[in-house]
Amino acid sequence: MKAIYLTGFMGAGKTTIGEKLAEKLNLPVLDTDQEIIKKRNMSIKEIFEKYGETFFRQSETEILKELPTKDVIITTGGGIVITAENRNWMKTQGTVVLLHADLNIIYERVHYDSNRPLASKKTKEELIDLYQSRVTFYKDCSLEVDTSNKKIDEIVDEIISRLKE
């Protein structure tokens, strides 16, 4: 089976859904942010503070291409889709599943999280603007699943069912 890439805005549920999906499909799950943390030996926040967003985005592309492309679930950072090279890689190497949630729900999940350098301390309007700047890139996917007000198992079952279509 080709890789399954979970994309979406921060707080959409990529990590949580990825873990449960991997468990149900009996596949390993890898997270691009966690792989960057391991490779750079510093937190995402530290990378942003020390080297900036451009360096972080370059690291995302490197890591993405180093990860396996078969029999794996890969959860991605919310901004990985900004780079056309990343979107093209994921589409040619696997199935890209966009997880989407209502922006009010996302705001409640992320606005106090200091581990999210592009979200913490932003107003709801600023977060919505960030989302709007990426929405076209998110929509460049194989399938879209709304995670708003759904249980984790419901979402995972929907993904599995739609992957078989």
- pLDDT tens digits, one per residue of 50-62: 999 899 999 999 9
Annotated binding site for substrate: 33, 57, 78, 134
Provide the 3-class DSSP secondary structure of residue 100. strand
- pLDDT tens digits, one per residue of 114-163: 666 566 667 888 888 988 999 999 999 999 999 988 999 999 999 999 99
Cα dihedral across residues 160, 14, 67, 60: positive or negative: positive
Beta carbons of 69 and 14 less than 8 angstroms apart: no
Instruction: State pTM to two decimals.
Output: 0.92
Specify the amino acid at residue 109: R
List of domains in the chain: 3-102+137-147 (3.40.50.300)
pLDDT score of 16 = 93
Annotated binding site: 11-16, 33, 57, 78, 116, 134
What are the two backbone dihedrals, phi and then psi, of residue 34, each rounded to the nearest 5 degrees? -65, -35
Annotated binding site for Mg(2+): 15
Q: Is the pLDDT of residue 112 over 90?
A: no
Sequence-separated (6 or more) residues with CB below 8 Å from residue 22:
28, 29, 73
pLDDT score of 96 = 98
Taking the C-alpha atoms of residue 96 and residue 125, their distance in angstroms, rounded to an integer, is 28
Annotated binding site for ATP: 11-16, 116
pLDDT score of 113 = 64
The label of the residue with tokens 């913490």 reads: 120
